[in-house]
Structure 1
């Protein structure tokens, strides 16, 4: 069984996958190297976008296993059409992302980006000048858009660690904790001091935070995006930040990645930028990798994945691979 990964993984996970089959890694996570390296793969471990042509090219491809939760890197409909399983590892990095959300909100409210720049460039007193306009996170209102595994972890930290008031906009309000009211997106934007985007990228959420949404946000509020870049209209967000209507933004994902060095975000002093790493730590990489190994082991042994993302493919898969 040939197992191919778009990226290198945790050392222990790498050894486990080598024990399960002929394991290889892309030379680099570029489309060209993934296209070349995936030839002959039975199972693909996904941490980068997969070209649909790869799936159609490989008649022996059994499964694509996402190293993480989001499925936007996998053309699931194409995989289903050719009889390939799709699995993911939900929740493995939820606490990691939640910590990132809280850390970045704290940093922006205390104006850490401005303090750091002025302290380095202009000295002690220049840095201290920002302190009087710093704000506390405790007691503020946090609005979470999309309340899955990550949203639940954010709510726990926010409620129990900072006595925050938490509201949520979600497609599944029945799953919310009793202490978290379900509200409309407009209401959430109007009352929240911090807005956290943890929703998946869908037709409904693409461009969700547009010019109208930015204007609906509470003055001096903070936006934290750990979902996907296209959920936010970047031009509208930049306008809101430059005008002073928004207090800051922490962005881990962008409409185009990697982020260009001359992007307007780079010149804003009330923004925290991270290169799509909110969910990556030593611990989360190990947990996600262990989840991948578990699913690969099940598939090789003839079982279906535990986190089966396209169950409608089962009959076609069984007909093809037994």
Structure 2
């Protein structure tokens, strides 16, 4: 069967697909649509069209190489019997460590010291340490305590002796390292707020103007989730006015970040290009995990991380009809 890749995956994942007997192709000169029209499955690393089923009449599965399903039109897939799967937890260590690295860089002024050392000399660079501080004893608020949030809580609590509070829909599922906090309380109490939740209609704009206004004057907000989880205009105003410490942003409403975006001119931001989950180890795990789920779906099996199990019966009926119609 033909597996379409929206973008290259790690060679280990591609090797698994080929060893299972499948053809693996990237978009050619005719673009992704032409490839989707022939594909039996697609491994997803970019946003798919909302009318996916109409463009991909043979498609049996859409498999996210990663966690966030906002790149896949899940409702459209479900209605047409296209199975959706992802690989939750594959990049949890990578994203959690990235958030810790951001907090350390912020408190120890790593970027400012580097620039000062190169441009202005040793003594000026060392002067940055006058306001350097430690993570120990500070409060970390985690919004979305899934695999990433759980790992981040473990590192922060046991590695840095931070107080960790968190918010998730099912508070009974919080790990022991994380105290439950209502969202408004979490924003008001935290020195660092890490957004690690999926993008849904419920989380869109979750970091609202009202909640940003509740943040401590020196607090930082870190977004490793999706750009629209934050009210961008409210955040920009708070940063410009110095009402919060700053923002470390790995994701944005529109990506790549525009060259003239006002965030680029602010001194109290740390910007990275949607790279928190892209360590070498995480990329291998995500690629092989997505390949394994693809192989299961094309073999007629249920995926292990089934995002739309309600599509199963329709999928089975479609598959049987396709097999009966085959020459």
- Is the shorter-chain TM-score for this pair beyond 0.5, marking a shared fold? yes
| 1:67/1:88 contact within 8 Å kept | yes
Distance in 2 between residues matched to 1:50 and 1:153, nearest whole Å: 29
Indicate if the aligned counterparts of 2:16 and 2:292 stay in contact, CA closer than 8 A. Answer: no
Distance in 1 (CA, whole Å) between partners of 2:65 and 2:263 is: 29
- For the residues of structure 2 that align with 1:264 and 1:126, how far apart are their CA atoms? 28
Match of 2:13 in 1: 13
Greater mean deviation of Cα atoms: 176-185 or 258-267? 176-185
Equivalent position of 2:100 in the other structure: 102
- From 303, 312, 318, the counterpart of 1:314: 312
117, 120, 132: which one pairs with 2:130?
A: 132
Equivalent-residue separation in structure 2 for 1:54 and 1:75 (angstroms): 7
1:73 positional shift? 0.2
In the alignment, what sits opposite 2:216? 218
C-alpha displacement of 1:109: 1.3
CA contact 1:113–1:271 (8 Å) conserved in 2: no
User: Match of 2:323?
Assistant: none
Residues 13-52 of structure 1 aligned to structure 2 (within 5 Å): 13-20=13-20, 21-27=22-28, 33-52=31-50
**Partners of 2:52 and 2:76 within 8 A in 1:** no
1:89 corresponds to = 87
Distance in 1 of aligned mates of 2:110 and 2:245: 12
Q: Runs of 5+ in structure 2 lacking a partner? A: 321-327
- CA deviation vs aligned residue, 1:59-114 (integer Å, no higher than 9, x gap): 21100011011100000010111111111111100110000000001101112232
d(CA) in 2 for partners of 1:242, 1:129: 25
Instruction: Specify the alignment match of 2:63 in structure 1.
Output: 65
Secondary structure at 1:249 match in 2: strand
Structure 1: segments with no counterpart, 5+ residues: none
Secondary structure of 2:180 counterpart = coil
SS at match of 2:7: coil
- Which residue number in structure 2 is paired with residue 201 of structure 1? 199
Partner of 1:141: 139
Secondary structure in 2 aligned to 1:244?
A: coil
Q: Distance in 2 between matches of 1:129 and 1:243?
A: 25
SS of the residue 1:235 aligns to? helix
Root-mean-square deviation (Å): 1.6
- Residue 283 of structure 1 is matched in structure 2 by 281
State the TM-score, normalized to the length of structure 2. Answer: 0.93
- CA offsets, 1:164-191, max 9 Å, x none? 1000111110011234221111111111
Residues 195 and 225 in structure 2, CA contact (< 8 A), matched pair in contact too: yes
After superposing the two structures, state which structure 1 stretch, 283-292 or 106-115, moved more. Answer: 106-115
Instruction: Please name the residue that 2:324 is paired with.
Output: none
- How many Å separate the matches in 2 of 1:115 and 1:247? 18
- CA contact under 8 A between 1:193 and 1:218: conserved in structure 2? yes
**1:124 Cα deviation from its structure 2 partner:** 2.5
Distance 1:75-1:226 versus aligned 2 partners, 3 A rule = same
What CA distance in whole angstroms lies between the structure 2 residues aligned with 1:178 and 1:92?
22
Partner Cα distance (2:177, 2:72) in 1: 35
Q: Are residue 272 (structure 1) and residue 255 (structure 2) matched?
A: no
SS at match of 2:31: helix
Find the counterpart in structure 2 of residue 55 from structure 1: 53
1:254-273 matches, cutoff 5 A: 254-273=252-271
Structure-2 separation of matches of 1:211 and 1:126? 37
Tell me: CA distance 1:283–1:179, structure 2 relative to 1, closer, same or farther (3 Å): closer
1:271 is displaced (CA, Å) by: 1.6
Aligned residues: 319
Residue deviations 1:113-147, cap 9 Å, x none?
A: 32233333333233222211112111111000111
The CA deviation at 1:27 is 4.8
